[in-house]
Amino acid sequence: MKLNSFGRLGLAPWLPWGRKHDLPAFLRAYEAGPWPDPHKPWREARYVVLDVETSGLDERRDALLAIGLVEIEDGRVRLDRRWHTMIRPPEGLLVAASSIRIHGLMRNELSTAPTFDEILPALIERLAGRVLLVHVARIDVGFLNRALKPYGTKLRGPILDTARIAITQHQRSQRLGEVSHDMPMPAIQLRGLAGSFGLPVYGQHDALNDALTTAQVFLAQAARMDQQGKHTLKAFLKSGGV
Amino acid sequence: MDEIVTFLRSYPPFDKLPNEAAELAASQAQIEYFATGSDILIMDGPPAQFLYLIRKGTVDLVHMRTGEATVVDSLNPGEGFGHRSLSRSEPPVVTVKAHTEVLAYLVPAEIFHRLCEEYDAFAHYFSASSFDRLISMAQQRDVDASGYLFQTRVRDLIRRPPITVRPDTTVREAAQRMREENVSCLIVDLPPYGFHDVNSGIITDRDLRNRVLAKGLSYDTPLREVMTAPATSMPADSLAFEALLLMLERRIHHLPLVEDGRVIGMVTNTDILRRQSSSPLFLPRQLERARSIEDLRNYGDQVFDAVAGLLDAGASVTDVGRVVAVAHDALLQRIIRDAEKQLGAPPAPYAWLVLGSEGRYEQTLRTDQDNALVYADDHPADAPEYFSALAELVVEQLVQCGFPRCTGDILATNPRWRQPLAKWQATFARWIEVPDEEALMRAGIFFDYRQVYGKLNAEAELRPVIQRGRGNTIFLARLARAALRTPAPLTFFRGVALERRGDQKDLLDLKHRGTALIVDLARIYALEAGRSETSTVARLRAAWREASVSEVDAERMVNAFELISLIRLRSQRSLIAQGAEPSNVVVFPELSHLDQRGLKEALQAIARSQRGLSMAFQTDRLIG
Q: Same domain for B133 and B259? A: no
Residue B470 within any structural domain of the chain: no
Subunit contact A209:B3, Cβ cutoff 8 A = yes
Angle at which helix B19-27 crosses helix B2-9, to 10 degrees, equals 130
Residue numbers in A near B53 (CB within 8 A): none
Whole-number pLDDT of residue B280: 57
A133 lies within 8 A of chain B by CB: no
B106 lies within 8 A of chain A by CB: yes
| Residue B317 to residues B279, B325, B563, B607, Cα–Cα distance (Å) | 16, 12, 8, 22
Confidence grade of residue B537 (pLDDT, cut at 50, 70, 90):
very high
Residue B185, domain CATH: 3.10.580.10
- Rounded to whole angstroms, the Cα distance separating B566 from B569 reads 5
Strand partners, B140: none
Q: Same domain for B188 and B302? A: no
Residue whose C-alpha is closest to residue A227's, from B43, B122, B35: B35
- Rounded to whole angstroms, the Cα distance separating B193 from B147 reads 38
More confident residue, B532 or A23: B532
ipTM of the complex: 0.86
Q: Same domain for B172 and B133? A: no
Q: Residue B2's closest chain A neighbor by CA? A: A203
The DSSP bridge pattern shows strands B504-509 and B585-587 to be: antiparallel
Q: Residue A212's closest chain B neighbor by CA? A: B1
Residue numbers in B near A208 (CB within 8 A): 1
Which of A77, A197, A203 minimises the CB distance to B3? A203
Q: For B573-621, how does the pLDDT look when each residue is reduced to its tens digit (9 = 90+)?
A: 888 778 888 788 999 988 887 788 889 889 999 999 999 998 888 765 5
Residue B358 within any structural domain of the chain: yes
Q: Same domain for B124 and B169? A: no
Average pLDDT estimate for A73-84: 95
Residue B258 within any structural domain of the chain: yes
Subunit contact A200:B26, Cβ cutoff 8 A = no
Residue numbers in B near A82 (CB within 8 A): 1
| Residue A73 to residues A45, A140, A241, B97, B215, Cα–Cα distance (Å) | 7, 21, 19, 22, 86
Residue B472 within any structural domain of the chain: no
More confident residue, B296 or A102: B296
Subunit contact A223:B7, Cβ cutoff 8 A = no
Whole-number pLDDT of residue A4: 44
Instruction: Assess whether pLDDT exceeds 60 at residue A20.
Output: no
B2 lies within 8 A of chain A by CB: yes
Q: Same domain for B205 and B337? A: no
A interface mutation test: which of B31, B38, B102 has the most A CBs within 10 A? B31
Total H helices, total E strands in chain B = 23, 21
B474 lies within 8 A of chain A by CB: no
Q: Same domain for B516 and B609? A: yes
**Which residues constitute the domain of residue B19?**
2-146
More confident residue, B236 or B495: B236
- Rounded to whole angstroms, the Cα distance separating B227 from B247 reads 18
More confident residue, B390 or B190: B390
Q: Which of B414, B444, B465 is the last residue of a domain?
A: B465
More confident residue, B586 or B72: B586
Q: In the 3-class helix/strand/coil scheme, how is chain A assigned residue by residue?
A: CHHHHHHHCCCCCCCCCCHHHHCCHHHHHHHHCCCCCCCCEHHHCCEEEEEEEECCCCCCCCCEEEEEEEEEECCEEEEEEEEEEECECCCCCCCCHHHHHHHCCCHHHHHHCCEHHHHHHHHHHHHCCCEEEECCHHHHHHHHHHHHHHHCCCCCCCEEEHHHHHHHHHHHHHHCCCCCCCCCCCCCCHHHHHHHCCCCCCCCCCHHHHHHHHHHHHHHHHHHHHHCCCCEHHHHHHHHEC
Percent over 90 (pLDDT), chain A: 43
- The class (CATH top level) of A28-240 is alpha beta
**B 10-39 residues inside an 8 A Cβ radius of A:** 26-35
Whole-number pLDDT of residue A3: 43
Subunit contact B31:A222, Cβ cutoff 8 A = no
Average pLDDT estimate for A18-38: 80
Domain definitions of chain A by residue range: 28-240
More confident residue, A210 or B282: A210
Q: Same domain for B291 and B363? A: yes
- Rounded to whole angstroms, the Cα distance separating B342 from A41 reads 85
The count of CB pairs under 8 A between chains A and B is 63
Provide the residue count of chain B. 624
A interface mutation test: which of B30, B50, B101 has the most A CBs within 10 A? B30
Average pLDDT estimate for B285-310: 73
Average pLDDT estimate for B433-458: 92
Average pLDDT, chain A: 83
Instruction: Assess whether pLDDT exceeds 80 at residue B335.
Output: yes
Subunit contact A78:B27, Cβ cutoff 8 A = no
| Residue B216 to residues B207, B209, B210, B606, Cα–Cα distance (Å) | 13, 10, 10, 62
Q: Same domain for B546 and B491? A: yes
Confidence grade of residue A183 (pLDDT, cut at 50, 70, 90):
low
Residue B152 within any structural domain of the chain: no
Residue B139 within any structural domain of the chain: yes
Whole-number pLDDT of residue A98: 55
Tally the domains of chain B: 4
Q: Which of B273, B298, B329 is the last residue of a domain?
A: B273
Q: Same domain for B100 and B162? A: no
- Rounded to whole angstroms, the Cα distance separating B214 from B216 reads 6
- Please give the full DSSP string across B208-224, using - where no structure is assigned: IIIIIITTT--TT-BGG
Q: What is the pTM of this model?
A: 0.58
Subunit contact A220:B101, Cβ cutoff 8 A = yes
Residue numbers in B near A222 (CB within 8 A): 33
Confidence grade of residue B334 (pLDDT, cut at 50, 70, 90):
confident
Which of A79, A215, A224 minimises the CB distance to B28? A79
**Which own/partner contact pairs does B455-463 have at CB distance under 8 Å and 24+ positions apart?**
B455/B349, B455/B350, B455/B351, B456/B349, B456/B350, B456/B351, B456/B374, B456/B375, B456/B376, B456/B421, B457/B351, B458/B351, B458/B353, B458/B374, B459/B532, B461/B374, B461/B421, B461/B425, B462/B374, B462/B421, B462/B424, B462/B425, B462/B428, B463/B532
CA distance B104 to chain A (A): 10
Q: Which of B236, B254, B273 is the last residue of a domain?
A: B273
Instruction: Assess whether pLDDT exceeds 90 at residue B374.
Output: yes
A227 lies within 8 A of chain B by CB: yes
Residue B569 within any structural domain of the chain: yes
Residue B295, domain CATH: 3.30.460.10
Subunit contact B31:A76, Cβ cutoff 8 A = yes
Confidence grade of residue B142 (pLDDT, cut at 50, 70, 90):
very low
Q: Which of B129-143, B389-403, B406-420 has the lowest mean pLDDT?
A: B129-143
Q: Same domain for B359 and B404? A: yes
Residue numbers in B near A75 (CB within 8 A): 32
Secondary structure (3-state) at B371: strand
Confidence grade of residue B147 (pLDDT, cut at 50, 70, 90):
very low
Average pLDDT estimate for A17-46: 83
B6 lies within 8 A of chain A by CB: no
Average pLDDT estimate for B392-398: 93
Q: Same domain for B406 and B524? A: no
Residue numbers in A near B3 (CB within 8 A): 200-203, 209
Residue B471 within any structural domain of the chain: no
